[in-house]
Each structure stands twice: as C-alpha cells, then as structure tokens.
Amino acid sequence: MSIDIEKTSEALEALASWEDGMEEVEKDVELFRLRKVAPLYERRNVLIKDIPGFWSIVLNQHSDFANYVRASDFKYIDAIKAIEIKWLCLDDSTVNPRNFELTVEFNGIDGDFEKQIVTKVFEIEHDVSKIRYREKRTEEDDALDEELGYLTSKPVDIKWPKSYDEINPDLITDKRSSVGKRNYRSGMKSFFGWFRWTGLKPGKEFPNGDGLANLFIEELYPYCIKYYTDAQRDVADESESDEEASDEPIQLDLSDKEESEDEDGVLRSEKRRKL
C-alpha cells in the first residue's frame, strides 16, 4: 500500500487548523457561559454574607483543602468573611478565560490579626523560560506547559497574624541557620505563604500553589453551597445519633445484688454475701 506523503501532510495541516478553530469555539462558549453565570455569582455573594461562618464551614468541610495548609491556619481561616472570584475575560474578551482574580475578606482577631481584604490575580503563562528553578523539570514538562499553559501569579501584600511573627518570611532576618530555615519553610507552607506564590519558583515557595488556586476556582467557589449543606447534614446526623444513644435504656447489672426493705419500708440494695 503506497502512501501519498503530500496528501497526508496536507491533511495534518488541515487538522491543525481545525483544532485551532475548535479552540476558538470552546473559548467563545466558555466566555458566553461566564457572562451568564457572573451575575448569579454576584447575587450569591451578597446572600452568603448574611450566613455567619459560611466560608469557614465550607473550607473545613472539603477534605482536600486541609492538605494545602497548616493545622494552625484554621484559626484564621475561621475568620474568613467572604471569598469572591472574578474572571478577567469578562472585562476583556481577548484575555484567556482561565485567568481570574480571587478576593478574600478576613475579619479581625483582637490583638493578633487585622481585618483586611486581599486580592490575588492568577494568569496562564506559556513561556517556560520564566520558570526560575528547573532542577526537577523535564523536556516533557516544558512541552506540555508551552502547549497548554501553566498557572502563575504575583505576590500580594497580606498582614500576617502576630502569632506568626516567628515564621513570617518578612520578619526572618537569619535565613541561613537551621532554625531560620525551618521557620522560613514553615511560613511558606502556611495559607498566608500562598499569597506570595508565583508559580515560577517550584520548590522555593508555597508548595502546589496552583493546586490550591484550582481547588478554589473548580470546586470550592462554584460548589460552596453543596459543601455547606453537606456540613449541616453531617451535624444533623451526629445530633440524631447522640439523641438515639441518650434515649437507650441504661442496662444495670444487678446479678450480685438483692433488694430488701429497711425499718422505714424503703427499698435498699444489699450485696449478696458470697460463700
């Protein structure tokens, strides 16, 4: 069977052009979807603010979220009042629909943590030469990121809790000693360290920062009501179990006791004398 190399080449070029056309259609469809859902999300954001502890409950409910932060972070995660996401393509249709900004509003904690609103922008990048640390990267990694793009961000200012002064990277003056290195790494692994994440320094910044960003935009934000209602259902189930347990009759072992009346006719229990 002979192969017409010229026709095959033309067909492959045509398929590449077809893929480009499909990508444009998919982008248009996603932009249309986002324009439709954005007003609904805005209305939901307003309604959520009237529910105390909503985001704390959602973040505690999702089993994967805890894998990205330190256990001590949950004290401050409980202080989150609002989380909002905005897709940048809604203001500029030429922007990649995967680019977005995430805004977190924190309540303050007296004497420890200031009330604040922090916004972090995430963008898709295709230029792999911007990645500064390449020790564990392969040619396949570069090829995939060049084709599909990888998530990046810029560090943003956030006021750390006073209780984190020891691990706050901005306050660590000695980063060469074993203690300084340990504290620096601990700080970079905290939820507050994530706001410094860039995606360009793998192994030197918050680990899996893109994973946490994707968790917010793919699961936590769009399906937050589901996680909230699941948490409420779990609490209700636990309450029912506790009530059922409390309603069960208490079983007493009276096999070695006998009751007799005293002089006043009151029942009393006496241990049987064992022979």
| 107 vs 228: CA distance, rounded Å | 19
Average pLDDT taken over every residue of the chain: 89
Residue 245 binned pLDDT confidence (cut-offs 50, 70, 90): low
Residue 248 binned pLDDT confidence (cut-offs 50, 70, 90): low
Residue 136 binned pLDDT confidence (cut-offs 50, 70, 90): confident
Question: For residue 149, what pLDDT is reported?
Answer: 96
**All structural domains of the chain:** 18-157+208-228 (3.30.1120.90)
Model pLDDT for residues 148-183, shown as the tens digit of each residue: 999 999 999 999 999 999 999 999 998 889 999 999
With a cut of 50, say whether residue 271 has pLDDT above it.
no
Contacts of 25 (CB under 8 A, 6+ apart): none
What is the mean predicted confidence (pLDDT) over 95-119? 98
With a cut of 90, say whether residue 107 has pLDDT above it.
yes
Model pLDDT for residues 213-222, shown as the tens digit of each residue: 999 999 999 9
| 142 vs 202: CA distance, rounded Å | 14
DSSP letter (8 states) at residue 169: G
Question: For residue 266, what pLDDT is reported?
Answer: 44
The torsion angle over the Cα atoms of residues 224, 188, 117 and 46, rounded to 10 degrees, is: 0
Model pLDDT for residues 27-67, shown as the tens digit of each residue: 999 999 999 999 999 999 999 999 999 999 999 999 999 99
Q: What angle do CA 92, 145, 118 make, to 5 degrees?
A: 50
Residue 243 binned pLDDT confidence (cut-offs 50, 70, 90): low
| 56 vs 50: CA distance, rounded Å | 14
| 208 vs 269: CA distance, rounded Å | 67
What is the mean predicted confidence (pLDDT) over 200-229? 97
